[in-house]
């Protein structure tokens, strides 16, 4: 076989896949068909589960160009295979973005093309296809995978998805070539490729809906916005109404003035829009969208031209599913937007796809479950062979041999196991719902039980969403004035500082109420000014957008007098003092600033105002206007947990007209500013934050802060909240990228503890002795070494690029990550996962979506539709949901372990019973099987899953998988006990004096102490299946009680679940079953015995069985409770997980001593074991590294020369 050609689709994207081409092979198909028949369909099932085997068993490899089947494999760690069929249709062209409408003529008669088209296109497409002449039709090949269609690209010689108008199209091209709209023929042609503009979520069967609410939520979410009526522009300026499902990339959409729900991704060509993007971002703040600039009309012309990207140019993009609340427009010109993406290609479509087709959950429990099932299959194989050999030796009929041998397989491998494991998750999901936590990914509930690290956003998560202004500190003559707390006073009304506070925002009025970013709103309200917007009628009278106007309230505005104060630049103002906002540059999280261009009524010049992060604003200002004490003053406030905003101003030239301002670049405005001062804002902790963080700390669950705020502010909040304890030290890693031929470097600064004192002395680099204290337990090794790393987003980027060897060490003790961009938050979560942490992420939904999706368990504190990106959503906006979720996750995980062990024991016990009876050519009767499976197993499984979570988080942690010493000992010991007592009773009954081969005339009860004689029909025919016999009755009663015994033994309570005696349904079920089985065993009822095909045995044998059952129960309880739960097994398990003593040594010799002293006194291995988790092993290595953590006032440089493994050598300079 030729070597497979390796190609990729979605190259260098998150969903990158390898793709291989295959053609169906007739002789292989025939062989597989024969195999399917011979195996009774089992081969077909196996090939369905294994797409790679399926393709290679039925196809031969070929080039992608000729492929009938493509085999896809993801390039992530899961390497998942998919088999997809390639379809062929005939279209009038092969490039959907052709601007020339296809020529249409007579009907095309091509049966094969018509049949294929029925699969791909709806009715309107088929009508259009019938118009295409045969000589103008082109063959188009495509396949569909995960709701995305991939078309064959002749140029690339590969399949490629369609990205609409987002591939390498510049601003100028959008305005010059795509701003006129599409003709109807061209629209129909593009619809052949792009399909209907809808995000369709197929609703599965009713049974699946009962288990999984995700599809209901998604279906409801997309159904509300699936189809709306829209207006589109044609090239002849004709406005036409159509359905949103008919839209294709290139259509020009008219946005109505009263707003609409966006049915697609579009770029705004004219006008402005106020948009609610909560569906995508979780942010309830309304966003202002401005039209895409036309480089031709800009000051620098095509020099300012850029390649359009919806993700990069969000302020110009209207995303699908978001709500346009209000529009503003030019006189006589409509607000128009160009459709760039439709259907599942939109941002909303991608979000829905990520939920419909999530990455496989890499959880050890599930991997071990598959391995355990394979073991059961092996056991079943042994029983299968034994049954065949035993039956052949006893000359059993072939039909009976086949039935019995297949029976043993179904008995050993329980088909009800998936449903049993699902039950605990469903009950946990219901309990979470009562706690105000909704879940759209139930399989992640179990993973929550393993979380050992939780990342928290700061603003809106740990702290209150709203901010209070503490005061301001203005700058005069290049120095700071004393802080001021009263802003609403006459002396400041006409200052540029207050003008900046009042004008530099994106606030708007919706239904007469101010709306916008809470920070902007708070600052504006503090000024006491009012905002007025032009009405639609006023706007229609002008050739330009009427500006938003801000002015002081009547109470603030003084009588107009001439003022000559050198601190004020505004004087001799007219009686009506107003500021018009001419142009806005909205806040950008990547730029960390916003600005506006404004004009005071009556002035001939305009002013630019800038607001943003202090470090960013200072860099954009003239150096002579920034006070020398700026770093020290900023440090004073940020150390106390204040949020600081800097303001700047620039007077623009009088030649800059209104129209020129609309086309000037942002960089030209935001440069050479004059620094004006600081706004100091308080961000208070939420009431529950400190308590919850303390609870997590006590449970050995690490907590990390990931925020977009200032570094020192974040450190202060971390200290105040208890995330960093008072005695712990903070090391700031300040990484600098390579510059001027110098290598990348990291400066290590030890932050001082004076977080609550207004001391301007620079103690940031004081030497601090770090002592390793013997505190903490469990897997919280980070708690032993009381130091924490803190870094900002820029440093994180440098470390990830130039210091890969240090990254894992830094994140091991990293607690505060400030100024982090949304993609950096995702990278940080991934970095934690790479060292084997189970990571939770808790955020308010704004800019946290990527991290929420990347984490093992993402918890959104927003109830908005953006929560669909997060597996869990809390109805309450505080972090109290985190311990609740972990507690329920632990309870669900413990339930899964209990249920799995119980189902494994149920299978093995029944396997032993049937194998013993097979030796006598007997078996359980149909009603006996039914009684065991329905009355005992099914009821027990569902009721034992009802244990609620324990009320506290404890330091102990659950094993992550089934392959652990304690789990294996538990299962194997119970199997051994069950086998011993079953075999003992089976052999013992044969030794009884009354024993004989049972016949319908047998009456072993006549001499018993129980004066009950059952009537037998002496004339009845011999039992052909040999169900009724003494062995069957004995094994049936013993096994029934064994099911109940292991159910009670495995139904664990504290410390992860409520005690079993509080699970009333389970207790009632077990009690009723015990009573019932005891009654029919000790006091047989003829009707029940006949139904269950039981025979009468002497009373003394019944008492003997009771004694055997009691001894069995005692043995099971003693083994599980005393030999497993209360002995060194816990220590052995803990030692295996930690791999190091809880007393970290300061040098290598002390570590060796600890190893020798900590050997278990049990007969199990007492040698030193390397921890499995990477972060534990790393912590163990660092505990004996004399050079870690780096000493204060040192610098670490990356060597230019790379080592053989590609890592950078690290050089530390004192």
The backbone torsions φ and ψ at residue 517, rounded to the nearest 5 degrees and listed phi first, read: -60, 130
Q: Is the peptide bond before 684 cis (omega within 30 degrees of 0)?
A: no
Burial grade of 988 (CB within 10 A; 0-12, 13-18, 19 or more): middle
Closest CA to 233 of 221, 223, 222, 242: 242
3-state secondary structure of 153: strand
DSSP annotation of 14: T
Whole-number Cα distances in Å, 450 to 303, 435, 891, 1175:
54, 20, 11, 15
Buried b (16+ CB within 10 A) or exposed e, 746-771: bbbbbbbbebeeeeeeeebeeebebe
Please, what's the b/e burial string for 547-559 (b: 16 or more CB within 10 A of its CB; e: otherwise)? Answer: bbbbbbeeebbee
Helix or strand (DSSP H, E) at 824: helix 822-834
Give kind and range of the element (H or E) at residue 274.
Answer: strand 272-276
Contact 282, 846 (CB under 8 A): yes
Q: Output the six-digit token pair for 495.
A: 């200052």
* Contacting residues for 67 by C-beta, under 8 A, at least 6 apart: 21, 22, 23, 86
Structure tokens that stand for 458 in this block: 């700061």
Nearest CA among 190, 205, 170 for reference residue 97: 190
CA 350 – CA 10 distance, rounded (Å): 14
Q: What is the C-alpha to C-alpha distance for residues 346 and 225, in angstroms, rounded to an integer? A: 13
Residue 222 host element (H or E): helix 214-223
DSSP-derived secondary structure for 1061-1084:
GG-HHHHHHHHHHHHHHHHHHHS-
In 3-state terms, the chain is what percent helix, strand and coil (to 5)?
Answer: 40, 20, 40
- Cβ(812)–Cβ(1175) below 8 Å: yes
Closest C-alpha to 818, from 735, 683, 707: 707
Backbone angles phi, psi at 92, to 5 degrees: -75, 0
- Residue 615 and residue 625: Cα distance in Å, rounded? 14
List 251, 457, 792, 848, catalytic entry: 457
Token digits of residue 399:
């039909």
| Cα–Cα distance measured from residue 712 to residue 790, given in angstroms and rounded to the nearest whole number | 9
Question: Is the Cα dihedral 209, 213, 216, 222 positive or negative?
Answer: negative
Q: Which residue has the tokens 């189809």?
A: 227
Q: Report the alpha-carbon distance of residue 163 to residue 161 in Å, rounded.
A: 6
| CA 1171 vs CA 23, 969, 1137, 1166: distances in Å | 48, 21, 6, 14
Rounded to 5°, the CA angle 360-362-367 comes to 110
Q: How many residues does the chain have?
A: 1214
**CB 462 within 8 Å of CB 456:** yes
| Nearest alpha carbon to residue 131 among 151, 148, 152, 107 | 107
The three-point CA angle 896-901-905 to 5° equals 150
CA distance 767 to 1050: 54
1187 annotated active-site: no
Count of beta carbons in the 10 Å neighbourhood of residue 388:
16
Distance, in Å, from the CA atom of 408 to the CA atom of 381, rounded to the nearest integer, reads 9
The catalytic residue positions are: 457
């Amino acid at each position: 076989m030729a070597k497979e050609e390796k190609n990729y689709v979605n190259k260098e994207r998150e969903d990158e896949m390898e793709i291989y081409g295959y053609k169906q092979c007739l002789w292989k198909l025939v062989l597989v068909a024969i195999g399917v028949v011979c195996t009774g369909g089992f081969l077909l099932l196996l090939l369905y589960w294994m797409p790679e085997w399926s393709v290679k068993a039925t196809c031969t490899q070929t080039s992608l160009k000729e492929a009938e089947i493509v085999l896809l494999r993801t390039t992530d760690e899961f390497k998942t295979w998919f088999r997809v069929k390639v379809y062929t249709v005939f279209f009038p062209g092969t490039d959907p973005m052709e601007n020339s409408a296809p020529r249409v003529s007579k009907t095309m008669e091509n049966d094969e093309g018509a049949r294929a088209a029925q699969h791909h296109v709806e009715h309107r497409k088929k009508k259009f296809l019938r118009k295409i002449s045969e000589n103008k039709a082109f063959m188009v090949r495509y396949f569909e995978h995960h709701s995305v269609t991939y078309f064959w690209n002749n140029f690339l010689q590969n399949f490629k998805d369609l990205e609409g108008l987002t591939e390498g199209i510049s601003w100028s091209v959008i305005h010059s070539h795509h701003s006129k709209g599409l003709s109807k023929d061209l629209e129909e042609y593009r619809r052949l490729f792009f399909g209907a503009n809808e995000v369709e979520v197929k609703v599965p069967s009713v049974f699946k809906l009962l288990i999984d609410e995700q599809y209901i939520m998604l279906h409801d979410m997309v159904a509300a916005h699936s189809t709306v009526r829209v207006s589109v522009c044609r090239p002849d300026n004709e406005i036409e109404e159509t359905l949103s499902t008919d839209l294709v990339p290139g259509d020009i959409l008219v946005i109505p003035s009263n707003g609409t729900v966006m049915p697609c991704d579009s770029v705004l060509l004219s006008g402005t829009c106020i948009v609610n993007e909560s569906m995508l971002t979780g942010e309830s703040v309304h966003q202002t969208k401005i039209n895409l600039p036309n480089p031709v009309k800009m000051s620098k012309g095509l020099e300012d031209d850029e390649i359009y990207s919806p993700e990069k140019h969000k302020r110009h993009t209207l995303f699908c599913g978001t709500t346009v609340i209000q529009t503003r427009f030019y006189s006589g010109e409509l607000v128009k937007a160009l459709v760039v993406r439709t259907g599942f290609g939109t941002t909303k479509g991608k979000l829905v796809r990520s939920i419909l087709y999530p990455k496989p959950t890499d959880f050890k429990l599930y991997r071990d479950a598959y391995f355990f099932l394979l073991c059961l299959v092996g056991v079943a194989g042994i029983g299968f062979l034994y049954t065949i050999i035993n039956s052949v030796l006893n000359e059993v009929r072939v039909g009976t041999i086949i039935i019995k041998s297949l029976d043993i397989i179904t008995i050993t491998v329980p088909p009800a196991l998936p449903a049993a494991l699902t039950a605990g998750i469903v009950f946990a999901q219901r309990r979470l719902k009562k706690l105000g936590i909704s879940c759209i990914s139930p399989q992640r509930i179990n993973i929550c039980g393993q979380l050992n690290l939780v990342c928290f956003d700061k603003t809106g998560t740990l702290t209150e969403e709203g901010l209070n202004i503490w005061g301001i500190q203005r700058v005069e003559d290049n120095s700071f004035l004393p802080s001021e707390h009263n802003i609403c006073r006459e002396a400041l009304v006409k200052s540029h500082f207050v003008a900046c506070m009042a004008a530099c925002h994106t606030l708007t009025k919706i239904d007469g109420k101010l709306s916008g970013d809470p920070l902007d709103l708070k600052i504006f309200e503090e000024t006491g000014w009012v905002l007025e917007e032009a009405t639609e009628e006023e706007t229609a009278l002008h050739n330009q957008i009427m500006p938003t106007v801000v002015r002081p309230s009547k109470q603030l505005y003084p009588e107009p007098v001439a003022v000559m104060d050198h601190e004020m630049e505004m004087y001799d103002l007219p009686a009506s003092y107003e500021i018009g906002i001419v142009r806005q540059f909205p806040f950008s999280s990547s730029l960390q600033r916003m600005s506006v261009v404004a004009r005071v009524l009556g002035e001939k010049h305009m002013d630019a105002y800038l607001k943003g992060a202090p470090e960013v604003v200072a860099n954009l200002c003239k150096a002579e206007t920034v006070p020398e004490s700026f770093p020290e003053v900023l440090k004073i406030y940020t150390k106390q947990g204040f949020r600081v905003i800097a303001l700047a101003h620039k007077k623009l030239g009088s030649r800059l007209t209104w129209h020129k301002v609309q086309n000037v670049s942002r960089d030209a405005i935001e440069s050479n500013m004059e620094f004006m001062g600081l706004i100091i804002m308080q961000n208070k902790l939420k009431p529950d934050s400190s308590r919850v963080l303390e609870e997590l700390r006590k449970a050995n669950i690490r907590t990390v802060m990931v925020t977009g705020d200032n570094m020192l502010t974040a450190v202060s909040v971390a200290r105040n909240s208890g995330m960093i304890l008072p005695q712990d030290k903070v090391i700031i890693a300040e990484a600098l990228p390579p510059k001027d031929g110098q290598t990348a470097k990291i400066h290590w600064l030890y932050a001082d503890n004076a977080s609550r004192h207004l001391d301007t002395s620079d103690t940031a680099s004081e030497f601090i002795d770090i002592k390793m204290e013997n505190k903490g337990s469990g897997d919280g090794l980070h708690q032993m070494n009381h130091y924490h790393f803190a870094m900002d987003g820029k440093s994180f980027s440098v470390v990830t690029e130039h210091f890969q060897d240090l990254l894992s060490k830094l994140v091991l003790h990293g607690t505060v990550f400030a100024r982090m961009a949304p993609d950096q938050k995702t990278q940080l979560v991934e970095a934690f996962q790479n060292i084997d942490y189970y990571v939770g992420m808790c955020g308010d939904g704004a800019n946290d979506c990527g991290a929420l999706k990347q984490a093992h368990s993402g918890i959104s504190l927003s109830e908005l539709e953006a929560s669909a990106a997060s597996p869990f959503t809390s109805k309450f906006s505080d972090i109290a949901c985190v311990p609740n979720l972990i507690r329920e996750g632990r309870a669900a995980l413990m339930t899964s372990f209990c249920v799995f062990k119980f189902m494994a024991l149920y299978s093995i016990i029944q396997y032993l019973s049937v194998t013993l009876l097979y030796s006598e050519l007997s078996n359980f009767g149909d009603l006996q099987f039914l009684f065991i499976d329905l009355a005992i197993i099914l009821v027990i499984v569902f009721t034992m899953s009802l244990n609620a979570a324990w009320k506290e988080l404890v330091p102990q942690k659950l094993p992550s998988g089934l392959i652990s010493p304690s789990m294996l000992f538990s299962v194997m010991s119970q199997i051994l006990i069950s086998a011993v007592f079953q075999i003992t009773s089976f052999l013992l009954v044969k030794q009884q004096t009354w024993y004989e081969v049972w016949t319908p005339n047998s009456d072993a009860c006549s001499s018993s102490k129980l004066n009950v004689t059952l009537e037998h029909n002496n004339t009845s025919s011999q039992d052909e299946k040999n169900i009724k016999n003494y062995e069957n009755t004995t094994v049936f009663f013993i096994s029934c009680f064994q099911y109940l015994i292991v159910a009670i033994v495995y139904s664990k309570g504290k410390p992860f679940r409520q005690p079993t005696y509080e699970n009333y349904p389970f207790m009632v079920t077990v009690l009723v079953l015990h009573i019932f089985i005891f009654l029919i065993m000790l006091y047989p009822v003829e009707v029940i015995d006949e139904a269950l095909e039981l025979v009468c045995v002497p009373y003394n044998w019944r008492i003997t069985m009771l004694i055997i059952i009691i001894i069995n129960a005692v043995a099971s309880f003693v083994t599980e409770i005393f030999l497993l739960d209360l002995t060194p097994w816990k220590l052995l398990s803990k030692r295996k997980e930690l791999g190091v003593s809880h007393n970290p040594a300061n040098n290598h010799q002390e570590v060796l001593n600890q190893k020798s002293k900590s050997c278990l006194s049990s007969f199990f291995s007492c040698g030193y074991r390397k921890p499995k988790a990477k972060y534990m092993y790393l912590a163990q290595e660092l505990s004996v590294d004399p050079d870690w953590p780096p000493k204060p006032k040192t610098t670490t440089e990356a060597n230019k020369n790379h080592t053989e493994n590609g890592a950078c050598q690290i050089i530390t300079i004192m």
